[in-house]
A = this chain, B = another copy of it.
Amino acid sequence: MARMEAAVGRRFIAEIKAGERIEDEVFLIRSKDLRTTTTGGLYIHAVLIDKTGQLVARAWQASDEMFQGMPEGGFLRFKGRAENYKGNLQFIIDAMRPADPGSYDFADFLPTTRGDMEAMWKRLVEILRQIKHPQLAALVGEFLNDKELMGRFRKAPAAAAMHHAYIGGLLEHTVSVLEVALRIVPQYPKLNLDLMLAGLFLHDIAKSTELSFETAIGYTDEGQLLGHITLAAIWIDKKADLVGSKLGKPFDSELKWVLQHIVLAHHGQYLFGSPKLPAVPEAIAVHYIDNLDAKLSMFFSEMENDRDPQSRWTNYNRALETKVYKPDVMGARG
């Protein structure tokens, strides 16, 4: 099976309709079960997913070999047909075969930002070019020129759950807070824009290492043991050394400390994992802008993803400690 097929585009779960036949498509197997019919036969009950949703699937006349051949958390190519069952879609599996790793795109199986990732990246670079302070600009440049790091940064989610928990989410969140800073700083001229931009760029940058996001979003060992806050502080230290050796004079210590401090303090409270509380104005501003963007993202996604269009309240959201009220009293969200 050639790569060309991917170019044609896959049939996403959200698009499949009852009565439709699927000749050959890759799905991620979230779970599987070998069950007995009322007449004594065996059948497989499975849940298949891609980034657009999930599909209950059944394979009749199953055998233990078939069952063993299905990798939970892995990929297979499926042939079959979609039916309606009690108002929900059900997929009847006719055949399964291995999926060649090169023949599908992992990104199809993870939720992804709706934003244009290339455009967001360009905007990020454009904004960061506005930094005028030579040392700070050089430091930010060290990060931007770190191909391997930026490769992960551009794909990473901004969280394992909670907000922007999708491929590209970290980039989207970072650009968004930078835009907010560009808008707000003129209102508070005592805030230093360069420091705000650098701090916001770096505040969550280590999420790119804290989180794993190859086949599912989770935590890496390094992330779980150290956390993105400490990782970013370490990285700034090392990049500052690099800048110093390139510029031929040590990076300004105080500037480095303040930048690291902004990152360390951006969760705003000890209880939320910040080892230091904001002690410079830019640190408190970064903290509130980060929170504003993350919480608004949670509100909007809670409202959009709510399953019951007729209810006026979403389900209880633990991070927000409340349900969200959905009626559009102002026509604002039309």
Q: Report which A residues bind B (CB closer than 8 A).
A: 34, 36-40, 86, 133, 136, 176, 179-180, 183-184, 186-188, 190-192, 194-195, 221-222, 224-227, 229-230, 233-234, 237-238, 252-255, 257-258, 260-261, 264, 270-281, 284-285, 288-289, 291-292, 295-296, 299-300, 303, 312-313, 320-325, 327, 329-333
Contacts and interface: CB of A to CB of B under 8 A. Distances in A.
A195 B296 contact: no
B187 A180 contact: yes
A275 B323 contact: no
A176 B255 CA distance: 29
Identical chains bound together, number: 6
15 contacts: A38-B38, A176-B187, A183-B187, A190-B332, A191-B296, A192-B333, A195-B330, A221-B313, A224-B323, A225-B279, A230-B264, A271-B271, A278-B322, A279-B320, A288-B288
Contact of A330 (B183, B255, B272, B296): B255
Given A180-B187, A221-B327, A226-B257, 6 more contacts: A38-B40, A233-B234, A261-B325, A275-B275, A279-B325, A284-B296
Contacts of A136: 330
A281 B299 contact: yes
A191 B330 CA distance: 10
Contacts of A271: 270-271
B184 A229 contact: no
Nearest to A328: B192
Nearest to A257: B225
Nearest to A292: B288
Given A184-B180, A257-B221, A295 B288 contact: yes
A23 B23 CA distance: 54
Nearest to A269: B270
B285 A330 contact: no
